[in-house]
Structure 1
Amino acid sequence: MARVRTVAVIGGGIAGPVAALALRKAGIEATVYEAYPHPAHGIGGTIAIAPNGMAALDIVGVSEPAAAVSWPVHRQMMTVGRTRLELPALAGVGPLQVIHRSDLYRILAADAPIEYGRRLVAAVQGPGGVTATFADGTEVQADILIGADGVHSTVRGLIDPGAPGPHYTGMIAVEGQSPATVPEEAGTMVFAFGKKGFYLYGPALGGGTTFGVNLPHRPLTIAEARAIPPAQWKNTLLEIYGEDSPGGDLIRALPADELTVNGALHIMPPVPHWYRGRMVLAGDAVHAPSNSSGQGASLAIESAIELARCLRDIPDIEAAFAQYERLRRRRVEKVAARAAKTNSIKAPGPIGKALMPVVMRVFMKLAMKPEKTIGPEQRYRIDWARPL
């Protein structure tokens, strides 16, 4: 089979543009097709990019601009009631970088070719390529099609109509930047387990305090969540975190209309089929661990680059896809399994709450062994220069 020359990438979030940049670096023409009619400027909350994710971004030349608009986290603390401890850091890997999702989109879109308003509705494979059909009636032909279209992926269903869909974690992401201050030094992130829920906070760039909440809640889309009045969300947060310190103070000081509600948090269970014929999945469409992992965006970036590397070096499409899955499946599913355990602590049921003191002692012991728990994740590097 002839080497891949053209690629249609579905989805303009993170994995899609990174895949296009890596493919072009590999000498393969790639275009991203995004369903939304315009770029996501100013939309979305913050995400964390781990050191392995920043190293992967460096391969496609965007790590420096991303770091320039990020909040570097050099120190991490954990609090449970009155217990407070500093989590040991990995040596020599660099800081966690917290960045606004819209800033990362903007940086990626500056170099990746993206066409907006192109919502995929069908794809037909043939011996010479794949034809993608969009809701506006237009069609695009390419040698292969990459589905980087998120947890609610259309391409996943085209590859395997029986594929599992995303699972709701039981939590909604809410965040904001409070004018209230905390005593922590710049570059510190605190993971706090309050009386009724989990939250995190740290000194914000330019003053005040950035905080984020994983709020136990019935599932809502972003549109449904943002249709609820901000004042109602603030009252809900105060019901859960109002008695916590500094959580309650941060929320009370924040004007309600400055809260950012990001909708339901989902994870992807293991997907049986990552590819079929000339179609393949990347990013959250095939592996979306809980945000508890701190690796969601980083794994999506890695997978997009490894897929491009496989297509660069392996002429046979099916063999390239199979190698890509071999390189990625075990790693991403291991990270997802670790994060799932953390999720059960962040949104415990009645029995879990009763056992919380015991659970947290075990959790803290594991957290104090970073080389064992997160070392293999954050020290991972893609050797782009090495041929497969």
Structure 2
Amino acid sequence: MKALIIGCGIGGPATAMALQRAGIEAEVFEVYPASAEGVGAFLNVASNGLDALRVLGAHRKVMAAGIPTPHMVMWSGTGKRLGEVANGLALEDGTVSHTILRSDLYRVVRDEAVSRGVPITYGKRLVDFEDTGDKVVARFEDGGEAVGDILIAADGVRSRIRHLLDPQAPEPRYSGLYSLGGIVHDAGFAGEPGVYNMIFGKRAFFGYTVTRTGDAWWFANLPRALGDVPADWKPVLLEAFADDAGSAAELIERGRADGGLPVHDLPPVPTWHRGRVVLTGDAAHATSPSAGQGASLAIEDGIVLARCLRDSAGHREAFERFEAERRGRVERVVAYSRTISNGKAAGPVARVFRDLALPFFLKKTASQESLAWMYRHHVAL
């Protein structure tokens, strides 16, 4: 069997490595003309994502490129400590969630796939596919074609394949938030390294963590009308956090604000597969970054799909088993993450109730078992 994988983000190379371990040939096609070093801010690889990378033998390099971030402390915009929760649950060997530059995570996973002989072709924008019954043909904008036994969509929240598979598939939905971030070198902040401080400000949400070298990695989620993009985000952010206690304004002032991207997720997608074509990762179940699970779910998908293909009588049975195993979990994560995003975009009245209720909610979810369904999930190959 040969698999054609469309998309060389995080999920595409991870899926290719999982397929390779299952004895299935895979080739990756990427729309961009070059690799994505230096693209994107930073993200969370939760403990379940690192556990999945361990199945592929790729977790150590990812951890070496990131910083351990096992805890989150929540604050109100007035400076009141609302509570603390785990950012993932430690694995049996003590491994905790890590924060990593997206470009570093991409580089590590991509390089690992290439080192194992996975072919990756850049500058290939898929425009259509044809399922001939016994094969699937991917057609690209440059006139080229590729033929395989199955076609795997790892082409993100605005997946072309999802639309081709089902023209009535739901469109990405806007969360009401724009996301920005930055890194301030030698910030000199006191505080425990690797602890995320999350501030529910009066007008926006802010989070930061401090590295052992004193750098501060920060992000902001700003409620804003979709398409309302200023020429310069810095004064907008400074105004948003001007009346809040904490370090948001100082960090924004001292650094550069990168991103300014609207946050989307996907409502439940009815059709995950048809014939020889299947959706994975953000193409099937994009989640907002509020739960820090997007990359981890994509890696899990690749492993489960590879196992189902290896252990099934054919691709139809494999895709059905894949969806049956994954749909309930990923839709629960999407819903959980959307709830968190809604809290970040709360208006004045909702904000008061949120700040009153959040300490009780955090106490309820502080125990390991309350979030074990998300962080203790293990996928095998």
- TM-score normalized by the length of structure 2: 0.92
Please point out which of 184, 198, 201 is paired with 2:191.
184
Please point out which of 109, 133, 139 is paired with 2:139.
133
Deviation digits for residues 84-130 of structure 1 (CA, Å, limit 9, x no counterpart): 23335745453111111111111122124211000000001012111
Deviation digits for residues 350-376 of structure 1 (CA, Å, limit 9, x no counterpart): 44234233332343233323421x211
Where do residues 147-166 of structure 1 align in structure 2 (5 Å cutoff)? 147-166=153-172
CA 1:192–1:314 in structure 2 vs 1: closer, same or farther (change >3 Å)?
A: same
> What residue in structure 2 maps to residue 358 of structure 1?
356
- Counterpart code for 1:128: D
Deviation digits for residues 169-222 of structure 1 (CA, Å, limit 9, x no counterpart): 1111111112433221212111111222211111135323111111212335xx
Please point out which of 32, 44, 48 is paired with 2:44.
48
Query: Quick check: 1:56–1:381 contact (8 Å CA) kept in 2?
Result: yes
Please point out which of 192, 202, 215 is paired with 1:195.
202
CA 1:155–1:91 in structure 2 vs 1: closer, same or farther (change >3 Å)?
A: closer
> What residue in structure 1 maps to residue 16 of structure 2?
20
Query: Quick check: 1:147–1:280 contact (8 Å CA) kept in 2?
Result: yes
SS of the residue corresponding to residue 286 of structure 1 reads helix
> What residue in structure 1 maps to residue 84 of structure 2?
86
Query: Quick check: 1:182–1:202 contact (8 Å CA) kept in 2?
Result: no
CA 1:350–1:78 in structure 2 vs 1: closer, same or farther (change >3 Å)?
A: closer
Please point out which of 367, 378, 381 is paired with 1:381.
378
Residue 64 (1) aligns with residue 64 (2): no
Query: Quick check: 2:204–2:222 contact (8 Å CA) kept in 1?
Result: yes
> What residue in structure 2 maps to residue 241 of structure 1?
241
SS of the residue corresponding to residue 27 of structure 1 reads coil
Residue 34 (1) aligns with residue 41 (2): no
- TM-score normalized by the length of structure 1: 0.90
Where do residues 108-123 of structure 1 align in structure 2 (5 Å cutoff)? 108-110=109-111, 111=113, 112-123=118-129
**What is the CA–CA distance in structure 1 between the aligned matches of 2:131 and 2:90, rounded to whole Å?**
48
Please point out which of 217, 220, 224 is paired with 1:213.
220
Query: Quick check: 2:175–2:342 contact (8 Å CA) kept in 1?
Result: no
Instruction: Select between 182-191 and 276-285 the one with higher mean Cα deviation.
Output: 182-191
**What is the CA–CA distance in structure 1 between the aligned matches of 2:259 and 2:84, rounded to whole Å?**
29
> Once the two structures are aligned, what percentage of the paired residues are identical?
40
- Counterpart code for 1:299: L
- Counterpart code for 1:334: R
- Counterpart code for 1:353: R
SS of the residue corresponding to residue 285 of structure 2 reads coil
> What residue in structure 1 maps to residue 106 of structure 2?
105
Please point out which of 345, 348, 367 is paired with 2:346.
348
Structure 2 unmatched ranges of 5 or more? none
- Counterpart code for 1:377: M
Report the Cα offset of residue 333 of structure 1.
0.9
- Counterpart code for 1:382: V
Query: Quick check: 1:177–1:204 contact (8 Å CA) kept in 2?
Result: no
Query: Quick check: 1:146–1:282 contact (8 Å CA) kept in 2?
Result: yes
Structure 1 unmatched ranges of 5 or more? none
Query: Quick check: 2:152–2:278 contact (8 Å CA) kept in 1?
Result: yes
Report the Cα offset of residue 259 of structure 1.
2.1
- CA RMSD across the alignment: 1.8
